[in-house]
Homo-oligomer: A and B are copies of this chain.
Amino acid sequence: MKRYLALCGGVGGAKLALGLAHVLAPGQLTVVVNTGDDFEHLGLSISPDLDTVTYTLAGLVQPGQGWGRDEESFAALDTVGRLGGDTWFRLGDKDIGLHLVRRTLLGEGLSLSAVTDRIARRLGVAHAIAPMSDGAVRTLLDTDAGPLSFQHYFVRERCAPVVTGVRYAGAEHARPSPALAAALADPALAGIVVCPSNPYLSIGPILALPGVRRLLAGAAAPVVAVAPIVGRRAIKGPTAKLMRELGVEPTAAAVAAHYADFLDGYLVDPADPVELPGVAVAAGDIVMNTLADKTALARRCLDFCDELAGRP
């Protein structure tokens, strides 16, 4: 049985992860998720990207929004506000329920991997979802407003500050999670899919883990990425603005260059020509709106892996 590994951030990546979950059997897919956005807030342990992927694969995500729970209420957060607490991070009541359970299980000594797996199973997710690491990695942005943690930059400041650098604090001491390490060492691994997530803020933390870039570059299985940029505009999120501020042209080609050391295949929009030595480029529609878009793009990723694996 062929197995696949998907590397994924939040909303954009979760769309392709959902497509992959629809076209692969549960035992065939491991979705490894960025935890560089994780943070402690109101005493809760919050893992935004893990939760977005979990809610998406469980069919519980807020439709149209792409993150958070469906039919959510905000009674707890309204009380927090009434008592003078922080409300800039919009935690819904159902979402808080999950954070309380995660906090409790982590407090009992379970790893984030074990907690993530237990929560996903309880919510009916059949495919494997895992954090990139059980260690703490925190994405920090150096900005014209000083250094900001990811959520402070992304949510509280709405990406307004100008970014001068991105760091992944703790990455040098963190280890890939057991699921990520196992997938990369799996002889049945038939393909690695880099989802269309922000290369710096979502995929970057995963690539910063010791050994991961080297293992991706040396993997027998093809590594295929879907461009997170169509016609110079990020499909989702602040990718284009951030890249410009970092002095990188916000193009699909620049993202490919960022992945050049391990990339075998690249799926781009027909309007974004990319040429990179050693990288096969396939042009086609990569915007995912409907479930049909997501499953179709997932199938194209898997077919692309097969095609690349068949090459000499």
Contact = CB atoms under 8 A, between A and B. Distances in A.
Given A79-B98, A96-B96, A119-B83, A103 B43 contact: yes
Interface residues of A, number: 32
Interface in A43-82: 43-44, 72-73, 75-80, 82
Most buried by B among A77, A84, A85: A85
Nearest to A92: B75
Contacts of A119: 83
A93 interface: yes
A35 to B, nearest CB: 19
A123 interface: yes
Contacts of A78: 94, 97
A283 interface: no
Interface in A102-129: 103-104, 107, 118-119, 122-123
A298 to B, nearest CB: 28
Given A44-B43, A100-B43, A103-B42, A122 B75 contact: no
A86 to B, nearest CB: 8
Chain A to chain B: the 8 pairs with minimum beta-carbon distance, closest first: A79-B97, A75-B93, A43-B103, A76-B97, A42-B100, A85-B101, A83-B101, A93-B93
Interface of A: 42-44, 72-73, 75-80, 82-86, 92-98, 100-101, 103-104, 107, 118-119, 122-123
